[in-house]
Amino acid sequence: AQKVTQAQTEISVVEKEDVTLDCVYETRDTTYYLFWYKQPPSGELVFLIRRNSFDEQNEISGRYSWNFQKSTSSFNFTITASQVVDSAVYFCALSEAAGNKLTFGGGTRVLVKP
Amino acid sequence: DVKVTQSSRYLVKRTGEKVFLECVQDMDHENMFWYRQDPGLGLRLIYFSYDVKMKEKGDIPEGYSVSREKKERFSLILESASTNQTSMYLCASSFEIRGTGPSNYGYTFGSGTRLTVV
């Protein structure tokens, strides 16, 4: 069965600090997809990134970057120069290709203080 | 933009009531899902449906049932609400993204229904 673990339940930083969110996953499939979602206080889930298991290139999008390490089954997310608007709960999720179901980690609450 | 609409943002029900949570999507997606979200546990899958009148149990189906009579609508039913079903409920739909490698799905989520059972 697939499983996603986000060991950090809450991270508090001061604005402009970098913050890295850890995500470790388990799956028996060789083909799978990894996702990150942001959930601001308003409650909706905002899609950030999808990565398939065949693509281990790291990705950068503005202040966001992702590090996919298949060898350690990790898909970590870094916010560079954090801002107050980054305060949210962030979820890592996994989908096995055949199953089409998302399995979520427990989420990491990020609090960015001014 | 694809929209997944959940009929209620907040709901308060009494123990033992039958509760219906409604979800509608407007983009002809095949697959629809119901999750519940609890602090520290993330989102957990209750039920999903990959076609009209089809349903499959997720990880925590006990105490819930679902109905999908039309493609665009997926209802979650609490047959007899209990206080341990107080939670945030999120509906989602998914669509296959073609041409991007192995079978890949994109997901769209509703804004959630916060249900309190008293």
Q: Are B77 and B12 in contact (CB under 8 A)?
A: no
pLDDT of residue B3: 87
Question: Between chains, do B42 and A54 touch, taking CB under 8 Å as contact?
Answer: no
Q: Taking 70 as the threshold, does the pLDDT of residue B69 lie above it?
A: yes
Q: Chain A: nearest CA to B108, how far in angstroms? A: 8
Establish, for the pair of chains A and B, how many residue pairs have beta carbons separated by less than 8 Å.
62
Matching residue, tokens 């470790």: A24
What is the pLDDT averaged over residues A62-89?
A: 95
Q: Are A83 and A70 contacting, i.e. CB atoms less than 8 angstroms apart?
A: no
- How far apart CA A107 and CA A23 sit, in angstroms, is 9
User: How many other CB atoms are found less than 10 A from the CB of residue A73?
Assistant: 17
Please give the DSSP secondary-structure letter assigned to residue A80.
S
Identify the bridge partners of residue A5 per DSSP, sorted by sequence position: A24
**Considering CB atoms only, which of A31, A44, A47 is closest to B102?**
A31
Q: How does pLDDT run across B41-58, given as a tens digit for each residue?
A: 899 999 999 989 999 999
- Residue A17, min C-alpha distance to chain B (Å): 24
Interface of B with A in 33-72 (CB under 8 A): 33, 35, 40-45, 48, 50, 58
Residue B36 reports pLDDT greater than 90: yes
Q: Which residues contact B27 (CB under 8 A, 6 or more apart)?
A: B2, B3, B93, B95, B108
Residue A68 to residue A58: CA distance in whole angstroms:
6
**Interface list for chain A against chain B, based on CB atoms closer than 8 Å:** 4, 6, 9, 31, 33, 35, 37, 42-45, 47, 50, 52, 54, 91, 93, 95, 97-98, 100-107
For residue B94, pLDDT over 90 is answered with: no
Does the structure show a pLDDT above 60 at A102? Answer: yes
- Scan for tokens 């799905």, then name that residue: B105
Distance, CA of B46 to CA of B58 (rounded, Å): 5
Contact yes or no for B34/B76 (Cβ under 8 A): yes
B44 vs chain A: nearest CA distance in angstroms?
Answer: 7
Q: Which residue has the higher pLDDT, A52 or B103?
A: A52
**Chain B residues touching A97 at Cβ < 8 A:** 102-104
